[in-house]
Structure 1
Amino acid sequence: MQRFSLNTHQMAQIAKTLLTFDPEAVLTLKDGINFKKNPEDGKCYIIYKDEHGVKACKNQCKHQGGLFIKDIEDLDGKTVRCTKHYWKLNVSTMKYVNPPDSFQQNELGVVWNDGSLEIVELNPVEPWLVDPKVQEELEVGEVTITYLTHACMELKLGNKQMLFDPWLTGPAFARGWWLLHEPPADALDRMCNADLIYISHMHSDHLSYSTLKTLSERRPDMPIFVGDTSRPVFWYLDRSGVKLTNINVVNFGVWLNVDEHLRFMILMDGVHPEMDTCIIVEYKGTHLI
C-alpha cells in the first residue's frame, strides 16, 4: 500500500479555541474528571486535572460518537463510560480500557496564560476551501452520476470515470445481506474500466472482497483510494486472497489531483471517525459530492 505525506503548505494549521477559563473559573476545576459544555455551541468536553496538570478531550466516543458519562464502577476517578455501547476511556492516559487496546482518544491542546486556561484544537481552515478554483461552465452531459446498486455509484466527469464502494457480486456480512437491486449487466466491466475507485470503509457492503476478486484478476493495478483511518480499510487484505497492487492510503483534508479539471478530497466521518470516511469531488471548480 502507498501512503501519501503532507507538504509544509498542507500542514499549515490554526488553533481554534473551544473553551476558555478565566483564573477564577480555573480554580473551580476539581481534581479528577470535569465535564464541561461550551455555552455558545453546546459542544461537550472532558477536562482531567491532577498534580501533573490538565488534559482535555472532546466528550465523544471514537467508536460511534456516543457521549461519555461518569463511570460508577471507577474507584480511581479516571475513567468515563460511553452511553452507547459501554466503552470506557481512561482520561488520565487518553486510552480506551474497555475494550482494551482499541483506540487512543485525540487529546486537545491546553494553553495557559496568566492563570487563565484555553482548550484549543488545531484544525485546518475548511480544507475544501483551500486553493479555490475558478468555476467553469459545464456542458449538458459533461457530468453524470449513475446509481449502480447499494452504495455503489459511477461518476463520469469529462473523460474521467470514478467508482465508489463497488459491491456488485456476492453477499455481505457473512451471508446476512444480499443486494436488493441487481446491478447493470455491464457493472463489472464499468468497474474495471474506471480511472480510480474510492472505498469509504471496511464494512463488507462497501468493501466487497468478492467484487474486488474480479477486479484483481482483470486489473490488479487499479488505483484505489482510502482514508488513513485508525482502523485500516484493507485490514484483511493479506488473508483475502485478493491481489491488488495500487491501494493508496491518503491523509484527510488534502486535495488529490486527477487531472487539470478534476480533484477529490477524503474527509473523516464525524460519527464513526475511527473507520468511516466521506469524499468531496470537484470538477472544473464545482463541488459535486
Structure 2
Amino acid sequence: MSANPPKDAKSPQPPIKLRRVGLFETSVNTEVIPVRGLLEGINDIGKFIVSMKKHVKLGEKPEVEWIIDKTCNHRGDKLLHNKGIAGCPHCNWALDLKTLTYHNGYRKQPLKYHIEGRSLHVQTSIDLSNPYQSSFKGDFKIRWLNHACLHIEAGGIKCVTDPWLLGPSFLGSGYLETASCKEAVHCLVNADFIFISSNRSSCLHPQTLAFVPKSKPFLIGNFASKSIEKALRGLGFTEIYTLEFQEIYEFSSFFQFSILKAGDGSEESGLYLCLSGHDVIINAYGNYLNTFNLPTDLTLLCTSFAGATSGFPFCIDNYNSEQKKALHTNHLEGLKQQLELLLESTNASYVMPIATPYIQEAARDQEVQNANAKNALDYGKQICDTYTRSHRESPVVWLQPDYTLTLEFKENDLIQWREDVHVLKRDVPQRYVDFYTRTFVYDANKLINYLKLSGYKAQQIVAFVPTDGSFEKVVGPIVQADFATQSFKIIEANAIITKQQGYRVMVLKVRGEILACVVENHLPFEEILRGFHCRIQRTPNVYEAQFWRYFSHFYTDSKPYTIQLV
C-alpha cells in the first residue's frame, strides 16, 4: 500500500495555545575533595582532575588553577588520563589538559568550587524538578511510529516527534529497517504540533513532511544557527515556535514540556515532557543531553541505543578495516554505557529505544552495511535488568518499539493496545540512486562560487574530489579551498595538499552527484557524511568540528527539490 501527499496541504488548523510557565527548580550536588597531598600541576584523583598552582603545604591556603570532572562531553563516558591527555575509549574524543580543549576544538568548562579549610567543595551536577507539575498522575498515550518518530497524546493534545516515515534519508542512503504503516501518516497529519530535534534528514525529512499542512505548528529549540527554522521555512511551513532551552512551556497542565540541548556542542536536542503528571524524556540524537542534569524518577525514558548512525569511522581513510571495526565496536559499547548512565541519572521506570536502526540498502553501500553493526535491542533489556537488581525494588521495564502497539500509561500501570495497521510499500534504493545521478551534475565553478560566498574562515585546507559511486574514479575537476587565504581554485590530482604546517588539512572524496545536490540546494554538509557519500583523509586525524558545524548549520538555506523516480 502506498501513501500520497494530500492535494491540498493547506487545510486550516485550530490555533495552538502555548504559554511559557517558568523555569525548573534546581538543586546543586557537591562533593568534598581533601587537598592534602595534592602536588603542583596535574593531579588525577578519582572522579576529578585538579590542576594546582603549587604544592599544598601545611598551614597554607590551597591555590587551585582549575578542577574538571573526568566525564567526556560527547556522551558522558569516563575520560582516561595519560600524560596530559584525557581520552574517551568509546568515542575517541581527546582532551588536552594544558588548554582544556578537545582535539576537535570543543572546550571543557572547569567546575565551580570553593575552599573550606583543607577541602575543596566542588559543584558536580544539578538536579532539575518541575515546580508546575501536577501532584495527580493521570493518563497519557504514546506510540512508536518509526525510527525517532513518536505519537504522544495527553490532555487532548497530540504531538509527533521527528517524523521520518517513508523514503530514504541522507540523500538516498539511509532506509528504514521496517516499512511504516499508513496509520502513522494519519497520526502525523492529524497531530496538533510537531517537534523537530535536529536538522538531520532522519528528523527533518522533507519527503515525509510533504504530507503535512503548511499551517501545522512546529516546536524547535533556539539554536544559534537557526538551521532547523530555515529548513522548515524553505519547505513552506509558517507556524514555527522557536523556544528557549530549559524553559518550561505548556498547552495545559496536562501537557508541559521543555526542550533540552545536547551537551557536546552539537545542534541536537531532546524533549522533557510532563504528561498528566508523568515525567518523560525523549532523546533521539542529543549526546550528553543537558550534560545529564535531568529530572529524576521518570515514568518513561526514550533514548537511542542501536547506534550505526554516523559516517565515523567508515568514511575515514586514515584507518584500515581492522581499526574501523575496533572503533565502531567502541562506539557501540559507549551507547551501552550511556544507557547505564541515563538510568542512574533519571531512575526511569520504563525505557523505550528510539532512533531505531536504518540500513544502507543500496547495492553500492553494501560494504558499509555489512560492517555497520548495531546493538541488539535485547541487550538493552539486559542492562535494565542489571540496573534493577542493584538499584530498584520494582523492575525497569524495557519496551520494544512496535508500531502496532499504543501504550497507555496510567497512574501506576501500563496498558498496551494492539492496533490494526496497513503497511506501506518498501522503497527501491536503486531508483533513488538513479534519481540523484540523473538529476544533479557536478560543476566545479558552482562549487567555487558556493565556497567563496560561505564566509567561512579557518586555518584549513580542503580538497574536494568528485568521484563515482565507489570513490574509485574522479569524475570532474578537483577544487582546493584554502579558507585562511580565501583561495579557491581547480587543481590537478598531483597538486592536492595533504599536509601543511599550522593547518588542518582534509581531502574529501564525494560522490559527484551528491556534492552537486548539496551545493545546488544549500543542504547541510553532514548529510554527505551521515549518508556515507564520502571518504576522508585528514591531517591531523581528528574530527573537523568547526568545518562540519559551519557548513551543516550556519551556511545552509535548504531549498526543496522534487524527487522523481522512474
Is the CA contact (8 Å cut-off) linking 1:165 and 1:207 kept in structure 2?
yes
1:144 pairs with 2:141: yes
Shift of 1:165: 1.6
Is the CA contact (8 Å cut-off) linking 2:214 and 2:236 kept in structure 1?
no
What fraction of aligned residue pairs are identical, expressed as a percent? 20
Listed as ranges, the gaps of 5+ residues in structure 2 are 1-19, 55-62, 281-299, 301-566
Describe the shift of the 1:87–1:286 C-alpha distance in structure 2 as closer, same or farther (beyond 3 A). closer
Describe the shift of the 1:282–1:80 C-alpha distance in structure 2 as closer, same or farther (beyond 3 A). closer
Shift of 1:108: 0.9
Greater mean deviation of Cα atoms: 108-117 or 188-197: 188-197
Q: What is the rounded CA distance, in whole Å, between the counterparts of 1:244 and 1:93 in structure 2?
A: 44
Q: Cα RMSD between the aligned structures?
A: 3.5
Which position in structure 2 is the counterpart of 1:131?
A: 132
Describe the shift of the 1:132–1:156 C-alpha distance in structure 2 as closer, same or farther (beyond 3 A). closer
1:182-201 paired onto structure 2 within 5 Å = 182-185=179-182, 187-201=184-198
1:1-289 paired onto structure 2 within 5 Å = 10=23, 13-18=26-31, 20-22=32-34, 26-37=35-46, 44-50=47-53, 53-72=64-83, 77=84, 79-96=85-102, 98-100=103-105, 103-121=106-124, 123=126, 125-128=127-130, 130-135=131-136, 137-138=138-139, 143-185=140-182, 187-212=184-209, 215=212, 218-219=213-214, 222-226=217-221, 234=227, 237=230, 241-245=234-238, 246-252=240-246, 254-267=247-260, 274=266, 276-287=268-279, 289=300
Higher strand proportion: 1
Q: What is the rounded CA distance, in whole Å, between the counterparts of 1:11 and 1:280 in structure 2?
A: 11
Shift of 1:57: 1.8
Amino acid in structure 2 at the alignment position of 1:250: E
Shift of 1:268: 5.3
Q: What is the DSSP-based 3-state SS (H/G/I as helix, E as strand, rest coil) of the residue aligned with 2:208? A: helix
Question: Based on CA coordinates, which of the two structures has the bigger radius of gyration?
Answer: 2
Q: What is the DSSP-based 3-state SS (H/G/I as helix, E as strand, rest coil) of the residue aligned with 1:175? A: coil
Q: What is the rounded CA distance, in whole Å, between the counterparts of 1:200 and 1:50 in structure 2?
A: 43
Describe the shift of the 1:171–1:49 C-alpha distance in structure 2 as closer, same or farther (beyond 3 A). farther
Q: What is the DSSP-based 3-state SS (H/G/I as helix, E as strand, rest coil) of the residue aligned with 2:176? A: coil
Q: What is the rounded CA distance, in whole Å, between the counterparts of 1:184 and 1:45 in structure 2?
A: 49
Is the CA contact (8 Å cut-off) linking 1:220 and 1:244 kept in structure 2?
yes
| Cα offsets for 1:79-137 (capped at 9, x unmatched) | 423323432223344322x123xx221321121123321221462x4324x33313155
Which position in structure 2 is the counterpart of 1:41?
A: none
How many residues are treated as equivalent by the alignment?
253
Amino acid in structure 1 at the alignment position of 2:157: K
Greater mean deviation of Cα atoms: 104-113 or 182-191: 182-191
| Cα offsets for 1:210-269 (capped at 9, x unmatched) | 434554xx325522234x679x794694599434441424323x4321123221234456
Amino acid in structure 2 at the alignment position of 1:132: Q
Which position in structure 2 is the counterpart of 1:3?
A: none
Describe the shift of the 1:233–1:87 C-alpha distance in structure 2 as closer, same or farther (beyond 3 A). farther
Q: Give the TM-score of the pair, scaled to structure 2.
A: 0.39
Q: What is the DSSP-based 3-state SS (H/G/I as helix, E as strand, rest coil) of the residue aligned with 2:188? A: helix
Shift of 1:177: 1.9
| Cα offsets for 1:43-72 (capped at 9, x unmatched) | x22222236733122212222333322344
Which position in structure 1 is the counterpart of 2:421?
A: none
Amino acid in structure 1 at the alignment position of 2:218: P
Listed as ranges, the gaps of 5+ residues in structure 1 are 1-5, 38-43
Q: What is the rounded CA distance, in whole Å, between the counterparts of 1:144 and 1:13 in structure 2?
A: 28
| Cα offsets for 1:116-165 (capped at 9, x unmatched) | 21221462x4324x333131555xxxx43233222211122242110012
Is the CA contact (8 Å cut-off) linking 2:24 and 2:129 kept in structure 1?
no
Q: What is the DSSP-based 3-state SS (H/G/I as helix, E as strand, rest coil) of the residue aligned with 1:190? A: helix
Amino acid in structure 2 at the alignment position of 1:251: F
Higher helix proportion: 2
